[in-house]
A and B are shown apart, each in its own frame.
With several copies, the nearest count.
Chain A
Amino acid sequence: MSYEIKLDIFEGPLDLLLYLIRKNEIDIYNIPIALITEQYLAYLDMMRSLNLDLAGEYLVLAATLIHIKSRLLLPPAEDEESGEEGQDPRAELVRQLLEYQTFKEAALSLEARPLLDRDVFSRGATAEDQAVAEEEDEGEIEIGVFELVQAFRRIIAGLDPSDDLVIDTDRMSLTERINEIMERLTESRQLTFTELLGARTDRKGIVYTFLAILELMKLRMIKAYQSGPFGPIRLFLAVEE
């Protein structure tokens, strides 16, 4: 059966739907929903019977198809209150299919380009090139933030899980504030809490600044003094340079 060959090469429910439309030589702007839904569900059954992993998205689209089918069975909506001229219930699905089809076309045109190391080749690296590369440390690589977070994950994978390793954007915002405070204290030796706040008078700015100061005190990196209740809080580097 040609079915089996096709099954594992669908890139998702939209792909399967496009395949059925093409197979039945259907006009994409006028999809016979009953027919397509029936064939679509038959494919899902077959995939299940073959124990193929069925991504949840396939079921979501099945539900959408059934919903559209039921809406088409109802008499044309007389939505005079909303002023809408009873839109074709298939419209959104058609739009989605057309968009996906365009990107499938884009993928094909990308694939058809002359690819480096498949269709075109650059000069082979010579022994000299390799010598130069080795001189500057073993196998250096160019990196972006993705490589950085991957490296971090690799390292901590081997650590004691009880380590406090929760890293989220809030924590990094706090770190950002800590660095700023240390930079400013290194420049001016002492600062008051108000001076540190500067223009940051929003709630988030105040909270982060306060938390950053607590963290720095805990780390014994700064010292804080207050001349009396409600007096200005003065901050100093714990260790003078």
Chain B
Amino acid sequence: MEEKMAIIEAIVFASESPLTAERIAEMIPDAQKRDISAILQRLVQEHDARGGGFRLAEVAGGFQFRTREDMAPWIRKLKATRPSMLSPAAIETLAVVAYRQPLVKSEIDRIRGVDASGALKGLLEKKLVRIVGRKDVPGKPIIYGTTRKFLEVFNLRDLSELPTLRELKDLQE
């Protein structure tokens, strides 16, 4: 393997969170962001072609090695602890925030028909939702949005990877 490609692979492998081409470019002095992006894409293809137990995934605007989805039953055996799951109320609230962000709490309450305080606090603590700012209306209510960690946990490259509300609506017909 070409040296620059091996270096990029090593850096991505060693990182604990997804790395963007920009951040990698900061570490390799004579590299262009464009070249790095191209190399990352080649690495994605190479690992997919290998068909090994893990692949290079594109998440949260960056790249991270992750196990193949169909390997999950085996990894769960390895990790004795069960991952902490989100309650249905939390996932509903998260869905509303993800699709309607930036938005205020009263909007979440209105859509779900119940008070979202508890669910919202849990999502803030799990760092899946964050405070974005305040809305410029009387009372200056807090505006919420999703975080980078939301993209990481839900394996999303960016928000546009979510199906649109229209697509979801058509699904119900």
Contact A119 B69 (CB under 8 A): yes
When C-beta atoms are compared, the residue in chain A nearest to B155 turns out to be A114
Stretch at the interface among B23-31, B35-43, B83-91: B83-91
When C-beta atoms are compared, the residue in chain B nearest to A130 turns out to be B16
In the bound complex, what is the Cα–Cα distance between A191 and B169 (angstroms)?
41
Query: Could you say which residues of chain B place their CB within 8 Å of the CB of A186?
Result: 133
B interface residues, how many (CB within 8 angstroms):
72
Q: A168 to nearest B CB, angstroms?
A: 5
In the bound complex, what is the Cα–Cα distance between A122 and B99 (angstroms)?
26
Contact A146 B163 (CB under 8 A): yes
Which label, helix, strand, loop or mixed, suits the secondary structure of the B interface?
mixed
Query: Could you say which residues of chain A place their CB within 8 Å of the CB of B124?
Result: 146
Contact B115 A221 (CB under 8 A): no
In the bound complex, what is the Cα–Cα distance between A118 and B171 (angstroms)?
26
Query: Could you say which residues of chain B place their CB within 8 Å of the CB of A11?
Result: 88-89, 92, 112, 114
Instruction: Say if the beta carbon of A213 comes within 8 Å of chain B.
Output: no
When C-beta atoms are compared, the residue in chain B nearest to A135 turns out to be B79
In the bound complex, what is the Cα–Cα distance between A172 and B167 (angstroms)?
14
Contact A126 B64 (CB under 8 A): yes
Pick the contact of B115: A57, A175, A179, A220 (CB < 8 A). Answer: A57
Contact B145 A182 (CB under 8 A): yes
Q: Report which residue of A96, A123, A153 has the largest number of chain B beta carbons within 10 angstroms of its beta carbon.
A: A123
Instruction: Say if the beta carbon of B162 comes within 8 Å of chain A.
Output: yes
Q: For residues 117 through 173 of chain B, which have their beta carbon under 8 Å from a beta carbon of chain A?
A: 124-125, 127, 130-137, 140, 143, 145-147, 152-156, 158-169, 171-172
Instruction: Say if the beta carbon of B106 comes within 8 Å of chain A.
Output: no
In the bound complex, what is the Cα–Cα distance between A15 and B15 (angstroms)?
41
Stretch at the interface among A42-50, A100-108, A195-203: A100-108
Instruction: Say if the beta carbon of B51 comes within 8 Å of chain A.
Output: no
In the bound complex, what is the Cα–Cα distance between A139 and B89 (angstroms)?
11
Residue-by-residue, is A99-133 near B (CB-CB < 8 Å gives 1, otherwise 0)?
11111111101110111111111111111010010
Given A101-B172, A115-B153, A141-B86, also A220-B135 (CB < 8 A): yes
Given A109-B163, A111-B91, also A126-B66 (CB < 8 A): yes
Contact A105 B168 (CB under 8 A): yes
When C-beta atoms are compared, the residue in chain A nearest to B109 turns out to be A57
Instruction: Say if the beta carbon of A155 comes within 8 Å of chain B.
Output: yes
Instruction: Say if the beta carbon of B8 comes within 8 Å of chain A.
Output: no
When C-beta atoms are compared, the residue in chain B nearest to A169 turns out to be B160
Q: Report which residue of B66, B92, B152, B172 has the largest number of chain A beta carbons within 10 angstroms of its beta carbon.
A: B92
Pick the contact of B135: A12, A141, A155, A239 (CB < 8 A). Answer: A239
Q: A136 to nearest B CB, angstroms?
A: 8
Query: Could you say which residues of chain B place their CB within 8 Å of the CB of A114?
Result: 69, 155
In the bound complex, what is the Cα–Cα distance between A106 and B69 (angstroms)?
21
Instruction: Say if the beta carbon of B7 comes within 8 Å of chain A.
Output: no
Given A114-B69, A123-B14, A145-B154, also A152-B87 (CB < 8 A): no
Query: Could you say which residues of chain B place their CB within 8 Å of the CB of A117?
Result: 79, 83, 153
Instruction: Say if the beta carbon of B1 comes within 8 Å of chain A.
Output: no
Contact B88 A102 (CB under 8 A): no
Q: For residues 1 through 18 of chain A, which have their beta carbon under 8 Å from a beta carbon of chain B?
A: 9, 11-15
Contact A147 B96 (CB under 8 A): no
Contact A120 B94 (CB under 8 A): no
Query: Could you say which residues of chain A place their CB within 8 Å of the CB of B96?
Result: 103, 106, 152, 155
Q: For residues 199 through 241 of chain A, which have their beta carbon under 8 Å from a beta carbon of chain B?
A: 216, 219-223, 237-239, 241
Q: B127 to nearest A CB, angstroms?
A: 8
Pick the contact of A178: B72, B98, B102 (CB < 8 A). Answer: B102
